[in-house]
Amino acid sequence: MAGGPATDSDLTRLSAAELAAAIAAGEVSAVEVTQAHLRRIEQVDPQVHAFLHVDGDGAVRAARAVDERRAAGEPLSALAGVPLALKDVFTTVDMPTTCGSRILEHWRPPYDATITRRLREAGVVIIGKANMDEFAMGSSTENSAFGPSRNPWDLGRVPGGSSGGSAAAVTAYEAPLGIGTDTGGSIRQPAAVCGIVGTKPTYGGSSRYGLVAFASSLDTPGPLARTVLDAALLHEVMSGHDPMDSTSLNAPVPPVVAAARQADVAGLRVGVVAELGGEGYQPGVMARFADAVGLLESLGAKVTEVSCPHFRYALPAYYLIAPSECSSNLARFDGMRYGLRAGDDDAASAEEVMSLTRAAGFGAEVKRRIMLGTFALSSGYYDAYYGKAQQVRTLIIRDFNAAFEQADVLVSPSTPTTAFPIGERVDDPMAMYLADLCTIPSDLAGNSAISVPCGLADEDGLPVGLQVMAPVLADDRLYRVAGAVEAALQQRWGHPLLAQARGLTERIPAGGGPGDD
């Protein structure tokens, strides 16, 4: 960096795009970048608990390989040498993959997920595995068997979930990039409550091979980052057709990076979804959302209101479809071939051992959803519950199709409230489920959606996210809108939103260590 050696603080505060450019230009080595982030993790992660596993040696080795490729004059990818927090639901041969569950504690997968492999091939440095709600079921990371992650804005609050560890790591400058998975909102909701950017790509746009399945017809890997451009760069690197995933779309990746750079909404038709707002929404969330809609209008977008009448049935339909798929997917955890085995005393039968293993290995939310799914799929109830939910899914897709005839993108708040206190909803499933109220429709329809920061709620000073939804394979529109909103708001504020996050800076004085409290 110009003017002398870069400090850790300089390096951890740069964007992924800036870091990659500095590495490519030889201003800083990938090893230095990785080491700065490892020191940051050492300093703040005892409080944030974003990571379940940090692989310092592996990360430095991966960074050194990037430096060597650069020294040899080989071309580098757009994100070569940039550290990343990988949600612990993607398999990694060199790190444990636990899914936040006791049933997979210490499990070492025999193969890499396609996403993992693509990151490695692009020279992205996987610095560790990020905490998550068990098997991605939850909206707060409190369902992790290994303890919750904390929101860097206020360590007494949740970072959202289920990709809360990835979001917290990016927010706390432990890594500029994170990867999460979105089944009902698990990328956008944590991004919103942490004040960062998170995208759910079009279903099938990113590979599920090696992603431990929760709800196969919904699970979608996607990027988390502090800037819209960084999210787009990661979106591009991780996406694309994968013959190993039969639901992967054989279509070109939408031009997301160009769209993020374009960042222009002039003439774009923006539809405000009437059903996503109002009663039950925090006033400060609605106020920032209204500001964002006004901002889009001032930037030349044509704003209209659209109605999606079946969205009110999205949450109930989701909590039938997702548990049904989970009850089937999680049947593989039987204590026989890998993972935990409990109660094997040479007298108990295989079936008894299986039941004891699953009772000991799964947490409360996973147990609830397995039973709920078993109920919804059982004969006699199937038509009234699972079948009906699948029909609602069709009606939601039709609502989207009608709305996208009137508008190029749809907008709503990303979440009904800001980050809630740790413990507040942990044993109140319905209250927890409401956190995904605005994000679920896009999962059920399989289209694309992003959350981009749009300010702080007046009543609590916590981040609010603007959700932008676009049709299937029109993911680039998300980045056009999010890029425009980000640029205009930062110009107004004079700084990125995260500069206002005080949760960590107040508790960790400069030079302070993990022992500080």
Partner 1 sequence: MSISRTEVAHLARLSRMALSEAELDHFAGQLDQILTAVARVQEVAAEGIEPTTHAAGLSNVFREDRLSGCLGQLAALDQAPAAQDGRFRVPRILAED
The stretch among 3-11, 192-200, 317-325, 507-515 that binds partner 1 (CB under 8 A) is 317-325
Residue 140 annotated among the catalytic residues of the structure: no
* Least distance CB 191 / partner 1 (angstroms): 21
CA 499 to chain CA centroid, nearest Å? 21
Catalytic member of 15, 87, 129, 412? 87
Q: Is the peptide bond before 162 cis (omega within 30 degrees of 0)?
A: yes
Residue type, 188: R
Which residue bears the tokens 């990027």?
Answer: 223
Query: How far is it, in rounded angstroms, from Cα 252 to Cα 249?
Result: 9
Instruction: Determine how many CB atoms are found less than 10 A away from the CB of residue 364.
Output: 12
In the DSSP assignment, the letter for residue 129 is E
* Least distance CB 266 / partner 1 (angstroms): 31
* Least distance CB 256 / partner 1 (angstroms): 19
Residue 302 annotated among the catalytic residues of the structure: no
Query: How far is it, in rounded angstroms, from Cα 224 to Cα 462?
Result: 18
Looking at residues 376 to 435 of the shown chain, list those that interact with partner 1 (rule: CB under 8 A): 378, 384-385, 387-395, 397, 429-430
Q: What is 216-227 written as a DSSP string?
A: TTT-EEEEEESS
The stretch among 40-48, 138-146, 156-164, 361-369 that binds partner 1 (CB under 8 A) is 361-369
Catalytic member of 29, 140, 149, 186? 186
Residue 162 annotated among the catalytic residues of the structure: yes
* Least distance CB 94 / partner 1 (angstroms): 14
The stretch among 60-68, 189-197, 410-418, 437-445 that binds partner 1 (CB under 8 A) is 437-445
Q: Judging by beta carbons within 10 Å of its beta carbon (0-12, 13-18, 19+), is residue 338 exposed, middle or buried? A: middle
Strands 269-273 and 409-413: what pairing?
Answer: parallel
- Could you give the 3-state DSSP secondary structure of residue 437? coil
CA distances 447 to 167, 201, 205, 470, Å, are 22, 7, 10, 6
The stretch among 103-111, 141-149, 283-291, 489-497 that binds partner 1 (CB under 8 A) is 103-111
Residue 507 in the binding site for partner 1 (CB under 8 A): no
The residues annotated as belonging to the active site are 87, 162, 186
Give me the residues that bind partner 1 (CB under 8 A), please.
107-108, 110-111, 203-204, 217-218, 243, 246-247, 249, 310, 313, 316-317, 319-320, 327, 331, 334-341, 344, 346, 348-356, 358-359, 362, 364, 367-368, 370-372, 374-375, 378, 384-385, 387-395, 397, 429-430, 443-446
